[in-house]
Copies of this chain bind each other. A is one copy, B any other.
């Protein structure tokens, strides 16, 4: 399926997306060049155009791939806490995809494939939020929980990647993310997976003295 390498590449589309991930990790999405991707894949400079049309077209496909990878990564976490950690982990380890996904002016963010893929990853998060015990004095209900959870985890990941955090944040994004998420949800999310069972919220130290 892969090699062949005569006049026809055989799997150029996939090869270009893989090359894009490498190139973007090296120099960021702004410096991405279609001609460079073509060189990496061993084809002529005009070959990518057939598969993706133009540069935004390629990045649109790349973003779709990213949202699907994110949905898959989130599904490995069984609790909301671990799902948040997985989100941060995805942002740090798959930098290229993450950066493109949230740079909507680089690609066609309103393309139907993008909307669908983004909806899929959002649905995974939603399902975990639905499993939460209802929060006290919740202003927006489950939707508000999801919005707050997504915001804090996304913001933390972005700031971490941008190097905008002070040194006190430590050097392990997963652990730092856990602390931040616990601060949002408190006992509602604490220790579910560390002990394999949820700690009783009433005994939690989060209750004000």
Contact = CB atoms under 8 A, between A and B. Distances in A.
A63 to B, nearest CB: 11
Copies in the assembly, this chain: 2
Contacts of A23: none
Given A106-B30, A122-B166, A152-B152, A180 B147 contact: yes
A53 B187 CA distance: 53
Interface in A149-165: 150-159, 162-165
A148 interface: yes
A171 interface: no
A interface: dominant SS: helix
Interface in A134-154: 135-140, 143-145, 147-148, 150-154
Interface residues on A, range: 35 or more
A169 interface: yes
Interface stretch (A3-11, A40-48, A201-209): A201-209
A28 interface: yes
Given A136-B208, A137-B186, 15 more contacts: A27-B105, A28-B106, A140-B179, A140-B183, A143-B166, A144-B179, A147-B168, A151-B151, A151-B156, A151-B159, A152-B155, A155-B158, A184-B184, A204-B208, A206-B208
